[in-house]
Amino acid sequence: MPATDEGRGTAGPTATSHGGTLRPAFGSLGSLLVRRDVAVATVAAVALAVVAATLLGAGATTVLLVAAIGLVLLAALHSHRQNRLVMYELRRRVGQLDHEVTRLVGRFDTTEQQHEQIRAEVRHTTETVEAITLDPAVERVNEYMKRVVVRETGHTYREVESLLNLYSMITVEGRVPPMRGWAASPDVLLLLVDLVRTERPGLIVECGSGVSTLWCSLALRQFGVDGRVVSLEHDEAYARQTNKLLAEHGVSHLAEARHAPLEEFDLGDHSAPWYSRRAWADLDRIGLLFVDGPPGTTAGQARYPALPLLADRLAANAAVVMDDTVRRDEQDIIKQWLTDVPTLTEERFKLEKGASVLRAAG
Ligand SMILES: C[S@@+](CC[C@H](N)C(=O)[O-])C[C@H]1O[C@@H](n2cnc3c(N)ncnc32)[C@H](O)[C@@H]1O
């Protein structure tokens, strides 16, 4: 029977269950007598002792003494039983505590192991990061990335500045397609627009049509220059697209993109495909020549034929603008032109993609 049941409904000392309090079970004789079962047993013992003593002819003092001894024995028996219950409960609680302590120690060990594992991983990561940071190759890449970021930020700023200039110089009413990338960048467009403003060319010829055709024609209109733009375009779809753009901006009367499929030209040392002759045969006294095509994918030094083929159609004071001079191919072409025509001079512009303005002296 559980220790709790033992004392239920009684006023005597009890041992409570797990979670309760433990009280010593050494009750006093008085409290023992209050209990009904003990009281009944006591009365029975006293009665038995009195009956036995009377039968045996003992005196009243002896009878009382026997009764008292019986009571003391009963109290001792009861106390012994309560002590056993308390001991049982104590052992059970000690067992539980022992189990709990073992469990907590186990958990502590596991946590310690995990901490050690995490510390080892942090050490390893720190060492790896330090090794990477100190690696000269990584340092070089970092330096390179810094230079790229500084350069690109500079380019972006200058392109924004050029755009602001373009839009403040020229009235634009329609949608303008994206610049940069395959299209000319704002900085070279600003150079072209400014050449139109200052040199007032009667004929502008472009190799490769697109947004540059639009800005040149808008510049003609804006500055009241009596001139026109002819853009040679090897790709029929791009030619159509450019003509549509010109119409949207109401400058079709000032500019046209001519479809000029590429055909092979024999230029002595340099044979290459270039815009078909019939597309430019009628052009003469070109004041501004913008060389931005054909694309490099069509041939090595694909833009080289522009000067040999159009040289005798340039006006005396013509400006030849070569775009993309950051590229090796375009630099080699200019070198070759300068060799071919010793009177040619070059002015370089540090633009995003690089540009040079070439003029024949005299
Ligand atoms: C450098 S792009 C000429 C860009 C033109 N001057 C302009 O400012 O828009 C040379 C040629 O590439 C072709 N082209 C233009 N945009 C292109 C694109 N997004 N992808 C492929 N080819 C393109 C056209 O045939 C164009 O004549």
- Segment-wise mean pLDDT, segments of 10 residues, the chain, 362 residues: 37 39 44 59 71 74 75 80 88 89 83 90 88 83 91 94 98 96 98 98 98 98 98 98 98 98 93 96 98 96 97 96 98 97 97 97 72
| Domains detected in the chain | 3-117 (no CATH), 158-360 (3.40.50.150)
Query: 203 is written with which tokens?
Result: 């004929």
Question: Tokens for 334?
Answer: 């200019």
Ligand 1 test: best mutation among 209, 275, 352, 353, most atoms within 8 Å of CB? 209
* Residue 324, ligand 1, Cβ within 6 A: no
> Residue of the nearest CA to atom 25 in ligand 1?
235
C-alpha 210: how far from its chain's center? 36
Q: Where are the alpha helices (DSSP H) in 135-175?
A: 136-169
Please provide residue 216's backbone torsions phi and psi, each rounded to the nearest 5 degrees: -65, -40
**Cβ proximity of 238 and 321 under 8 Å:** no
User: What pLDDT sits at residue 171?
Assistant: 98
Kindly report the protein residue whose alpha carbon is nearest to atom 15 of ligand 1.
182
**pLDDT given for residue 362 in this prediction:** 64
- The backbone torsions φ and ψ at residue 206, rounded to the nearest 5 degrees and listed phi first, read -120, 140
Report pLDDT for 130.
83
Give the angle 235-237-238 at the CA atoms, nearest 5°: 70
DSSP readout, 292-327? --S-TTSSTTTTTTHHHHHGGGEEEEEEEEEE-TTS
Q: Which helix (H) or strand (E) holds 263?
A: strand 262-267
Hey, whose CA ends up nearest to atom 4 of ligand 1? 183
Cα 117 to averaged position of ligand 1 atoms, centre (Å): 59
For the CA of 212, the nearest atom of ligand 1: 8
What does the block give as tokens for 333?
A: 């072409």
* 183 close to ligand 1 (CB < 6 Angstrom): yes
